[in-house]
Amino acid sequence: MDQTKAVPLRGIVGPLFRQRREELGLRLDDVAEYVRDAGMVGWNRTTVSALELGQRELDLEEVWLVCAAMEIGLAELLGRQAPDSAVSVGDAGTWDFGLIREVLTGERDGLAGRLAGVREVQAKRQEELDVERDAGDKTVQRVAHQLGSDPVTVAKFAWALWGRPLTRERDLRVAQLAEAGASPRTLQALRGHVTRDLVKQLRGVVV
């Protein structure tokens, strides 16, 4: 799957609908009329054209009606697309089209295992993004300098040790140690003390 060529799901489904319409010799107006007669007021040739160009979001009712107009089941329609096509799904990242087709059409063979694999890849990518973000923090950069290491390595080991960014771990420990109403100077001193303890822990694992 080439993630650089990922397109939204509508960018795959739209051209498939166009391919089917042309096979049947239907006009844009024919499809629009069928959908209108079924109760979807406002559909016209422009609506269908936008759908085929991947410019229109579809809800389930519309997908069902357009499939009915073109006399094709959803499984058959989606089966025309290469399963290794890359699909961008908003904040959920890039997914394999074959997996999306299985979910939509009920083809469950190996689905659980494939979903687990996708989740693992996504979790790993999120971890990489978290580490990259944390490496830009000035505190992490100072600690990396003290340890003779680089910020990315320090950020990575912080997540491995505490399951959170170094600065978040520091702030949580400070909150546990500080008394109610502690002055800014006291909090600053605590942050310094806690940071030194964290550096000691990191020194034992950072290479």
- 2-6, 21-25, 53-57, 160-164: which range is least confident on average? 2-6
Q: Which CATH architecture has domain 3-109?
A: Orthogonal Bundle (1.10)
Integer Cα distance of 187 and 177 in angstroms? 9
Q: Is the pLDDT of residue 53 over 90?
A: yes
Alpha helical stretches, state H, the chain? 9-24, 28-37, 45-52, 60-69, 74-78, 97-105, 111-135, 138-147, 151-162, 166-177, 184-203
Per-residue pLDDT, 199: 92
Nearest 5°: CA angle at 148, between 146 and 152? 95
Q: Is the pLDDT of residue 194 over 90?
A: yes
CB atoms within 10 A of CB 70: 20
Which residue shows structure tokens 């830009």?
136
Tokens of 198: 């964290």
Name the pLDDT band for 19 (thresholds 50, 70, 90). very high
Per-residue pLDDT, 109: 55
pTM (2 d.p.)? 0.49
Per-residue pLDDT, 18: 92
As annotated, the residues of the chain forming the CATH 1.10.260.40 domain(s) are 3-109
| First vs last C-alpha separation in the chain | 35
Across 145-160, average pLDDT: 91
Question: Contact 161/205 with Cβ under 8 angstroms?
Answer: yes
